[in-house]
Structure 1
């Protein structure tokens, strides 16, 4: 008898489909892709949770988020840049909210990109907090849609890694580092 149990995180498990793995993570909805990314941030769980839970803050470090409109304590409307000049919109409903520990959501109203996910905040001792974002989604146009999103650097797996890195920078230093000059810097050079 072969034992194929897998104790790896659901996003990396080898013996199940993305749907089965998402169910293991407590995620629901339509989807065919499960991703997870983590970063350790030198701040307390409570600080990071409070900042993240104030959803308009997410546009400060999430490169593709144009805006998040909070409708009530559990519902928000997201407007995100898509490939090319397109935008993708959806409503999200909070499905779990444990202060200082986790926030989970699921998209509603038949969005362009069906998605659900969870952000967890775990103590990392003196190093701060491990923040893990797990996202389960279904891209429009299936494989071709995913390929186009990757070409335009808009694929959620790519964005999650970059966004968590920017979240770390913002929470540890108060700003997101960039190699680009700001408008103010250009004006000072001209003057």
Structure 2
């Protein structure tokens, strides 16, 4: 396999043709919003893929994901925080999977937030692995919903960047850095 040399995501392309090509790479390219983010993580591709593929582990670094329940090998149920204290839920199916390289998904009909996307893992030589998340979604309440989500920092494009940064921290250091002390830290200090 060749090594990637560019961390930039296809959504950052200058050419409209390249952006359209990136959009068609995920299910439901007709979604209202489209976002892609990449990060280089100093860990082997296989390790990162294995961690991500166990969807029940995703809440360990995805701030807005409350829980993911595995319903079948290719189907899961997601519970996610939304703006104003709301919670949204959906079932998702895996639409494509290449071991160690790619997981693509799409929400099933009736989802609170219609979405689809893919997570790709590419070798970056001695630097580790380039992890790219591409997400397409239809925000509830359309454009107004997207603005409200941005105000509450719950918009998927914002979250994708933050979640990938937390994934990098977790995979490289074993923990996600926070600015606040947790209840567990307070309990440990008392002992």
TM-score, length-scaled by structure 1: 0.88
8 Å contact kept, 1:61–1:166: yes
1:109: which partner in 2?
109
Using the TM superposition, give the Cα deviation of residue 161 of structure 1 relative to its aligned residue in structure 2, in angstroms. Answer: 0.3
Q: How far did residue 42 of structure 1 move?
A: 0.6
Corresponding residue of 1:67: 67
Q: Contact 1:29/1:114 (CA < 8 Å) preserved in 2?
A: no
Contact 1:133 1:160 in 2 (8 A): yes
**Is the 8 Å Cα contact of residues 9 and 37 (structure 2) preserved in structure 1?**
no
When residues 117 and 50 of structure 1 are mapped into structure 2, their CA distance, relative to the original with a 3 A threshold, is same
Q: Conserved in 2, the CA contact under 8 Å of 1:10 and 1:25?
A: no
Distance 1:64 1:111 in 2: 17
**Is the 2:90–2:112 contact (alpha carbons within 8 Å) kept by the matching residues of 1?**
yes
Query: Alpha-carbon deviation of 1:32?
Result: 1.0
Q: Which consecutive unaligned segments of at least 5 residues does structure 1 have?
A: 1-7
Matches within 5 A, 1:69-108: 69-108=69-108
CA distance in 2, matches of 1:94, 1:143: 27
Residue matched to 2:47? 47
* Structure 2 length-normalised TM: 0.88
Q: How many residues align?
A: 182
CA RMSD of aligned residues (A): 1.9
Other-structure match for 2:34 = 34
Tell me if structure 2 keeps the 8 A contact 1:30–1:138.
no
Output one character per residue of 1:24-62: Cα deviation in whole Å (capped at 9) or x when no partner.
213226511110000000111100000000000101000
Unpaired runs of 5+ residues, structure 2, are 1-7
Equivalent residue, structure 2, for 1:15: 16
**Is 2:123 the partner of 1:123?**
yes
Distance 2:31 2:72 in 1: 26
Q: Secondary structure at the match of 2:95?
A: strand
